[in-house]
Amino acid sequence: MRKSIVITGASKGIGRAAADPLAEQGWSVIGVARSSPQHFPGVFIETDLADQNQTYALAKDLAARGDVFGIVNNVGVARHETIDAVDFDVFTTMMDLNVRPALQLTQTLLPGMRAARFGRIINVTSLVTRGLAFRSSYAAAKAALESLTRTMAIELAADGITANAVAPGPTETELFRANNPPGSEGEARYLKGMPMGRFAQPSEIAAAIAFLAGDEAAFITGQTLFVDGGASLGSL
């Protein structure tokens, strides 16, 4: 059975890193983001997932392929804010982009997954759902996605479809480093909460995503796998 998997937010960072092990695993990889990377191990579709209509058009095209049995819902946006300074227009945007495309795309792909009696849904959440300062809107959105993962899992288990979440801790992506350069106050704040004393590499998060997409994880569903160097356990 030919099987394709979609990765949203696939132009860089964790999404781009996940494409390589998934391709090596035998998936035909379809990347989605607003702009294409220079190199990608599969098909790439430029779409703005912040636009509900563009997302719907993409979902219809993906469903029409008939071979998309996996999705990595990775697209998202974060914001640094204190609880007393949350802007509600921003809050609405954060909730929308971090949750709505995951539901919108997955929902459209379900008939094909059900017909195949096989599916892999992997939602990229975050360590922030366990509580982290300056992440009010982002944490609320990722917690909603984590909860949605469990609902998907229990409703779809009988159809041979698994749904799990991967929750990264601070990861050394281009965006993270742009906001927290070496020697900065932000870097020091994050490292203080890392028992391993370092940040994750995108490839380490990608390995967890690939595992949950593989045949060996067929009996794992409704779980959130924290890939965070022990940060969710607390600091020493």
Residues classed as catalytic: 138
Helices 88-116, 52-65: crossing angle, 10 deg rounding: 10
Both tokens of residue 40?
């990608």
Give the SS3 label for residue 83. Answer: helix
Q: Which residue has the tokens 């209509």?
A: 53
CB burial of residue 77 (10 Å; 0-12, 13-18, 19+): middle
Buried b (16+ CB within 10 A) or exposed e, 47-64: bebeeeeebeebbeebbe
End-to-end CA distance of the chain: 48
- Whole-angstrom distance, CA of residue 10 vs CA of residue 71: 12
